[in-house]
Copies of this chain bind each other. A is one copy, B any other.
């Protein structure tokens, strides 16, 4: 049997959000490779070898997975959410491009998943129902000036904005700067959704007007969605519904 490499998205956490296609790939794998908490989500079974690694070693992890596949193993690299959105797929392809030529000829597939942005949006209503953008607020791999430039242009374009990695221990101040920038540029009371750990037992959802949003409302497990100027909040007895209408003037 020749080896293969599948890069699979496990969704945001709940088993009900793992696609059947991904479940089949995991059932057929000989090796699962990924960040510790994601590998832990894959049930143990005889014949399955798990390779769990710490955060921030994406390229090492990718090379391990590629090497295993090249040696004939059926390898699944697991990501949270969708592997193609601020997750493992790009890291694997970076490793392939810089690696030995035979890696390019491996049997490689990417299996999409429910990315955090879609799960968070669904819980809140439909804040991404019109044009939107997705920005990784981590400045590990890009300069902060580029993040600020994108925030300004996204506000000018009147996109709704989904922010991945708003806050981490290593960068506590970046998200506060992003919020201050948006408060100045947008100058309105559009809703901001702080969606923490959606679809897990720790799920928590808050909707806060932009001027009252503060950085401590997000942590490493929070997805932040900022509405466009046209995003609406429907009040009701339960949590409000936040949605962006389909039309724009």
Do residues A248 and B146 form an inter-chain contact, with CB atoms below 8 A? Answer: yes
Contact between B129 and A90, CB atoms less than 8 A apart: yes
User: A21-B16, A126-B84 given as contacts; is B243 within 8 A of A89 (CB)?
Assistant: yes
Q: CA separation between A123 and B112, bound complex, in Å?
A: 9
Given contacts A16-B24, A129-B84, A248-B146, contact A96 B136 (CB under 8 A): no
Question: With an 8 A cutoff between CB atoms, is A209 at the interface?
Answer: no
User: Within A122-144, which residues are at the interface with B (CB < 8 Å)?
Assistant: 122-123, 125-136, 141-143
Query: CB-CB < 8 A to A18: which residues of B?
Result: 19-20
List residues of chain B with CB within 8 A of the CB of A128. 84-85, 134
Copies, count: 2
Residue-wise interface mask of A (91-107) relative to B, using a CB-CB cutoff of 8 A (1 in contact, 0 not): 10110110000001100
Determine, out of A36-44, A154-162, A184-192, A211-219, the stretch whose residues face the partner at the interface: A154-162
> A1-24: which have CB < 8 Å to B?
11, 14-21, 24
* Residue A227 at the chain B interface, CB threshold 8 Å: no
B234-A118 in contact (CB<8A): no
The minimal Cβ–Cβ distance linking A118 to chain B, given in whole angstroms, is: 4
- The 8 Å CB contact of A131, one of B110, B135, B238, is B135
For residue A181, give the distance in angstroms from its CB to the closest CB of chain B.
14
A124's nearest neighbour on chain B, judged by CB, is B110
Query: Does A31 have its Cβ within 8 Å of any Cβ on chain B?
Result: no
Instruction: Determine chain A's interface SS by DSSP, over half rule.
Output: mixed
Q: A17-B21, A20-B20, A84-B127 are in contact. List 9 more A-B contacts (CB 8 A).
A: A17-B20, A18-B20, A84-B118, A84-B125, A89-B122, A93-B129, A110-B122, A131-B135, A133-B134
A/B interface sample: 30 pairs, CB < 8 A? A14-B21, A15-B20, A17-B21, A82-B122, A84-B126, A84-B129, A85-B128, A89-B122, A89-B126, A90-B244, A93-B129, A104-B234, A104-B235, A104-B241, A108-B241, A109-B122, A110-B122, A110-B123, A110-B126, A112-B118, A128-B134, A130-B136, A132-B134, A141-B247, A142-B248, A149-B157, A150-B157, A153-B153, A154-B157, A157-B157
Binding site for B on A (CB under 8 A): 11, 14-21, 24, 58, 82-87, 89-91, 93-94, 96-97, 104-105, 108-115, 118-119, 121-123, 125-136, 141-143, 146, 149-150, 153-154, 156-159, 232, 234-238, 241, 243-249
